[in-house]
Amino acid sequence: MAIKIIKKRGGDVAKITAKQQAWIDYYKMGYTATEAARLAGYKAKSDNAFNSIGSENLRKLADMVKDREKKLESPRIAGMTEVNEFWSSVMRDEEVEIRDRLKASELRARAAGGFLDKIEHSGSVETRQSELASILTQLKEREKS
């Protein structure tokens, strides 16, 4: 089993196994601690055992989960600024097919709120005016007394 050495804040050194690293990655992808334990290759005989492994990893690896979050988020997920810049560059690139340029301009405009979606509603809305009038009457009577 390979052990990875990670330098923590304050100069401390932590040793982390490949399974722990995989667990952190799966956990950061949105899996529960229990599911991450299964996917990372931990061996257990029951759901409770996987749950225990996941809980223990949450406790032991909390700092590394936070550090890993920063490393995973920045290069993999484009922010809205980057997405808008991409759409704008595609839209302006005359070598790109016109349909792709139009789609990029539509997506850019939609992200900026340039389109309002029309919502149709069929049916009726009941106001219950008689109930509201009754409640108002009761409140007015309470104020008088």
Model pTM?
A: 0.41
DSSP code per residue over 5-52: EEEPGGG-EEEEEHHHHHHHHHHHTT--HHHHHHHTT---SSHHHHHH
Domain limits, the chain: 3-76, 80-111
Q: What is the DSSP letter of 4?
A: E
pLDDT tens figures, 72-82: 555 666 777 88
The fold adopted by the segment(s) 3-76 is Arc Repressor Mutant, subunit A (1.10.10)
Question: Is the pLDDT score of 116 beyond 80?
Answer: no
Q: At what angle do helices 62-76 and 47-60 cross, to 10 degrees?
A: 80
Weakest mean pLDDT among 14-18, 90-94, 112-116:
112-116
Provide the 8-state DSSP code for 96. S
pLDDT digits (tens, 9 = 90+) for 30-85: 888 899 999 999 999 998 999 999 999 888 888 777 766 665 555 666 777 888 88
